[in-house]
Amino acid sequence: MSQKAVLISGCSSGIGLAIAVLLAKDEKKRFMVYATMRNLAKQEALVEAAGRTLGQTLEIRQMDVCDEKSIKECVDSLPDRRVDILISNAGLGLVGPIECQSIEEMQSVMNTNFFGFVRLLKEVLPDMKMRKSGHIVVISSVMGIQGILFNDIYAASKFAVEGFCESMAVQAMRFKLHISLIEPGPVITDFEHKVYEEGMKSDMSKVDSVTADMFLNIYMRHWTQIFESLGQTPEVIAEHTLKIITMDNPPFRHQTNTLYTPVTTLKYADPNGDLPIDTFYKVVFEHDKVFSASLNFLKLLRWRSRKSFSSLEKDKS
Ligand SMILES: NC(=O)C1=CN([C@@H]2O[C@H](COP(=O)(O)OP(=O)(O)OC[C@H]3O[C@@H](n4cnc5c(N)ncnc54)[C@H](OP(=O)(O)O)[C@@H]3O)[C@@H](O)[C@H]2O)C=CC1
Ligand SMILES: CC1=C(/C=C/C(C)=C/C=C/C(C)=C/C=O)C(C)(C)CCC1
């Protein structure tokens, strides 16, 4: 079987980097990875992680998903412009009360997370249709299913991606193309720190005291706790992505975190849509202590299982 050309956006760090490296290191050499980033000055981490695959099964290219010209130049530089698997990963987070966010900041999130993907797809879709083969994979989020307070714009950007893909899926099927939305919960990457730091810098003088308290003393306190107790590594998301792209019939949606499924299931359990909203309200305002204790308990369990796993590994060696 011939090697598949994989184009990935946003490979300077996190999930994009982990996917690029995992696919490039595939023992059967099933993939030729074009790992892209908007700023090539940030390639050191990828170069180091790619090791000997660099120049073999992995090549690094410049691509800014907010710049059509850079996308076109990148795709033009690929052999026969061929992309068998497109992995749209580049993305930005944004948390905080909307009163503290400028329209420009909001537009930048939509421009990267939604239009960034649309620009990429416009560049590769006609060739995929012509060849009647191709897999479009989007790193969406659990927030593409269910919004979370103070993530209004970020969730909207992921909903936009999901609505777009749902609409496109039937057309894609006609051309034997696959579309898959990978939906991670919290993942421990630079995203977590960037979003947290930006959120903490929000100008609270622009908002009333009730909202400011809800954001700083309730939401932001849970943010770190949620990542510590439910967070996955980018390598785990990469493994899920590998599984999806090697399936004969890949699913349209794939959630990576079973610990998070109780949260997303609320969405499907009530056609009125009230259940997740009421539950989040109760969790945050009425059962905060129980919620915090459960998260801490989960964190402890994970820490203990990691510890016993690493001592097992030590025993083996
Ligand atoms: N971390 C999490 O909890 C979760 C993340 N996700 C999604 O995963 C994806 C990757 O995020 P993650 O790895 O966590 O975060 P990182 O911040 O580590 O990675 C984001 C990547 O996107 C790149 N990027 C941003 N803007 C552009 C642009 N205009 N053109 C090209 N690349 C760009 C960044 O480049 P640069 O270094 O130049 O800024 C970086 O390489 C995002 O779509 C995010 O929404 C989904 C669920 C959970
Ligand atoms: C689960 C949950 C909460 C927080 C969830 C968070 C913080 C999720 C973050 C997801 C990310 C970062 C996805 C990235 O795409 C609340 C609102 C505190 C209370 C209700 C239940």
pLDDT over 60 at 317, yes or no: no
Mutate to test the pocket of ligand 2, among 112, 143, 148, 191 (most ligand atoms within 8 A of CB): 148
Q: How many angstroms separate the CA atoms of 58 and 21, rounded?
A: 8
**Quick check: CB of 15 below 6 Å from ligand 2?**
no
Q: What are phi and psi of 283, to 5 degrees?
A: -60, -45
CA of 270 to the centre of ligand 1 (A): 32
Atom index in ligand 2 nearest the CA of residue 148 equals 17
Token pair 């997303």 is found at 264
Q: How many angstroms separate the CA atoms of 282 and 299, rounded?
A: 22
Q: How many angstroms separate the CA atoms of 205 and 259, rounded?
A: 36
Q: How many angstroms separate the CA atoms of 190 and 187, rounded?
A: 9
Q: What is the pLDDT of residue 70?
A: 98
pLDDT over 90 at 179, yes or no: yes
Q: What is the pLDDT of residue 312?
A: 61
Is 267 known to sit in a ligand binding site?
no
Q: Can you list the positions of beta strands (E) in 118-226?
A: 135-139, 178-183
Is 145 known to sit in a ligand binding site?
no
Q: How many angstroms separate the CA atoms of 209 and 246, rounded?
A: 51
Q: What is the pLDDT of residue 69?
A: 98
Taking Cα atoms as reference points, which of 284, 244, 242 lies closest to residue 263?
284
Average pLDDT rounded to a whole number, residues 154-162: 98
pLDDT over 80 at 313, yes or no: no
pLDDT digits (tens, 9 = 90+) for 35-92: 999 999 999 999 999 999 999 999 999 999 999 999 999 999 999 999 999 999 999 9
**Quick check: CB of 141 below 6 Å from ligand 2?**
yes
Confidence band, pLDDT 50/70/90 cuts, at residue 170: very high
Give the other-Cβ count within 10 Å of 233's Cβ. 14
pLDDT over 70 at 1, yes or no: no
Q: State whether ipTM is beyond 0.90.
A: yes
Percent of the chain past pLDDT 90, that is, above it, reads 83
pLDDT over 60 at 233, yes or no: yes
Taking Cα atoms as reference points, which of 24, 16, 15, 138 lies closest to residue 86?
138
**Quick check: CB of 89 below 6 Å from ligand 2?**
no
Q: Can you list the positions of beta strands (E) in the chain?
A: 4-8, 31-37, 58-62, 85-88, 135-139, 178-183, 253-255
- All domains of the chain, ordered by start, with CATH? 4-308 (3.40.50.720)
Q: What is the pLDDT of residue 2?
A: 86
Percent of the chain past pLDDT 70, that is, above it, reads 96
> What DSSP string runs through 34-96?
EEEES-GGG-HHHHHHHGGGBTTTEEEEE--TT-HHHHHHHHHTSGGG--SEEEE-------S
Comparing 51 with 223, the larger pLDDT belongs to 51
The mean pLDDT of the chain is 94
